[in-house]
Structure formats: C-alpha cells, structure tokens
C-alpha cells in the first residue's frame, strides 16, 4: 500500500505544478487599444533608428554607409530635431496599423480559463491580424518612408511634407488616391511576418516560461519573451522590409511589380535583402521590447478583470 501511495505522489505533485502554472498569469485582459498605445510609445523611442534604417535600405551607391557615423554627421549638419522628421506619420501609422493587429489578435484569443491554442493557430491568427493591420496602415507607412527619405534626396526631389495630413492630402491631389497604396502588397506581407514573429512567438514563449517553476507574470518573463519575439520578427521580415522600402521610395513606374523589385534588389547579391540588418534588428528589438513591456503594464494596471 505504501508502494502504491509513493507511485501516485509524483502524479499528484505534477498536477499541482500544472495548476500553479495556469494560475501564474495575472487575471487581467488587455483592452483593444492597448496595442496601439504601446506601439506608439515605442515608435517615439526608436524613430531615429528607423530613419537610419531607411537610409541604409535605399542606399544604392558604392561603398558602405555606416549607421552611427551617418547619424552623427546628420546631427552635426542639421541638428537633433532632424532625427525626428516624420514622427507624426510614424505615430499615426502605429496607432492604426498596430492598434488593428493587436486588437484583432487579442479579440480572437480564447477566453481566459479555456485551454490554450496550439502554436500553429497562434501563427494563423497573427497572420490574419497582420494582414488586416498592414492593409489599413499602408498609406501612412508610405508617408512615413517618404518623410524619412526626404533628408537624403536632392533638393529638386524633396517632397517636403509638413506632417502626415499634409502628406496624405498632397499624394491624393498630386498623384491620385491609388498612389497611397503604392507598395501595399509589400506592406501587408511585412506586416504578416512582423506580427507572426512578434505576437505568436511572444505568446508562445511567455506561455512556455510560465509553465516553468522559475518564472512569474513579471518583468523578467516579459523581457525574455519580447527578446525572442524581436529576433524572430526581424529575421522573418527583413527581406520584405528592404523591398517594401525601395518600392515606396521609388519614382512612379520604376517597379511594375513585387517581382521586378525582387530582381533589381537581387542584382547586388543575396545579402542585399538583409541590408541594414543591424539597425533593423536594433530598431525592431528596442521597439518590440518597449512595446510588450508597455503593453503588459497597461494590461496589469488598466486591463479588464476576468474574475
């Protein structure tokens, strides 16, 4: 009888551990607009890096363009405020694009207390949310890239958008409303890659960590989960991001399709698709970490109770 009791003891302890892991997550669910708020906060912090990433991706001349030296030269020549050119477009884009993808992903998650979804369902949900968010945010992404690129182009080619609304109205008036979706296919594809890398991987890594006895629903767990999500998102989205930036910054008619942009980029070698990887990783890394840390704090302190 003692032997039987000893055999049942590990099973009993296992069930206690599983129950504890399920109860670890703080019983608060985020509101639909927390994602947009968190991503907008992150955009304000990482905007200078985003500007230098765009400069690297559109750099076609011979020779290397070094990010930190370029940033220092830019500040010396034009002042610190230059690093925040296009911030209105960036924040508007994040509010709409990220607000939509985070909101959809959270709405489609199972109710608290129900079994967690398998990982492939998280990927499918994130892909759908990213596609929708990317589509509605494409016009503001276009304006953001153009405003960032304005710093380096010759005077006669500068667009000089004063802010995001001015850019939106001028594109509609001067080029036609359809031009707002120039390169939209690449925006949607990148949004899918980014959202899968960020949301589904963050969700899965966090769930796995909370299943271990060493982690709680606290800052270290959020930090480690967001770091893994940042690495995944950057690697998945980088080739698409390079082509997207080139298509959006190109003169009308230069690229007739995604394939023509792909072939033009490939002429300089396969590593061209990872041009600017370090600043992109730095930007996506900081952006992802700040986003999820902000998102989790909003959830914990201002989220809706589930009990």
- Mean pLDDT for 113-141 is 92
Rg of the chain over all Cα atoms, to the nearest angstrom: 22
CB neighbour class for 296 (10 Å; exposed up to 12, middle 13-18, buried from 19): buried
What are 10-46's pLDDT values in tens digits?
Answer: 443 333 444 444 566 777 889 989 999 999 999 999 8
* 114: DSSP letter: S
pLDDT at 5 over 50: no
| Whole-number pLDDT of residue 255 | 83
* 110: DSSP letter: P
Tokens 């953001």 identify what position?
Answer: 144
Higher per-residue pLDDT: 301 or 54: 301
* 250: DSSP letter: S
What are 274-286's pLDDT values in tens digits?
Answer: 877 877 788 888 9
Q: Please state which of the ranges 105-109, 114-118, 293-297 shows the lowest mean pLDDT.
A: 114-118
Task: Please report which residue ranges of the chain form alpha helices under DSSP H.
Answer: 2-24, 34-57, 67-78, 87-93, 99-107, 119-149, 164-174, 184-195, 201-210, 219-249, 258-266, 277-302
| Whole-number pLDDT of residue 82 | 79
pLDDT at 157 over 90: no
| Whole-number pLDDT of residue 11 | 44
Distance between CA atoms of residues 204 and 195, nearest Å: 13
Choose among 215, 222, 234, 207: nearest CA to 298: 222
Q: Which residues pair with 28 in a beta bridge?
A: 305
């Amino acid at each position: 009888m003692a032997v039987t009791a000893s055999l049942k003891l590990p099973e009993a302890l296992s069930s206690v551990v599983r129950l504890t892991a399920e109860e670890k997550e703080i019983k608060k669910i985020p509101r639909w607009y927390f994602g947009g708020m968190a991503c907008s906060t992150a955009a304000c912090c990482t905007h200078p890096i985003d500007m230098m990433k765009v400069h690297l991706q559109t750099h076609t001349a011979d020779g290397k363009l070094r990010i930190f030296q370029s940033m220092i030269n830019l500040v010396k020549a034009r002042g610190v405020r230059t690093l925040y050119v296009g911030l209105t477009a960036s924040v508007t884009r994040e509010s709409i694009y990220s607000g939509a993808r985070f909101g959809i992903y959270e709405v489609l998650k199972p109710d608290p207390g129900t079994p967690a979804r398998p990982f492939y369902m998280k990927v499918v949900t994130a892909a759908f949310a990213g596609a929708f968010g990317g589509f509605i945010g494409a016009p503001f992404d276009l304006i953001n890239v153009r405003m960032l690129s304005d710093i380096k182009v010759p005077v006669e080619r500068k667009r000089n958008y004063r802010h995001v609304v001015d850019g939106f109205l001028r594109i509609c008036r001067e080029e036609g409303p359809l031009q707002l979706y120039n390169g939209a296919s690449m925006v949607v594809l990148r949004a899918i890659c980014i959202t899968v890398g960020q949301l589904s991987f963050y969700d899965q890594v966090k769930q796995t960590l909370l299943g271990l006895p060493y982690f709680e629903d606290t800052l270290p767990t959020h930090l480690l989960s967001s770091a893994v999500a940042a690495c995944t998102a950057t690697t998945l989205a980088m080739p698409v991001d390079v082509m997207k930036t080139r298509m959006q910054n190109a003169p009308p008619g230069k690229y007739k399709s995604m394939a023509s942009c792909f072939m033009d980029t490939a002429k300089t070698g396969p590593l061209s698709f990872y041009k600017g990887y370090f600043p992109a990783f730095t930007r996506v890394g900081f952006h992802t970490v700040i986003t999820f840390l902000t998102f989790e704090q909003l959830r914990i302190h201002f989220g809706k109770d589930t009990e």
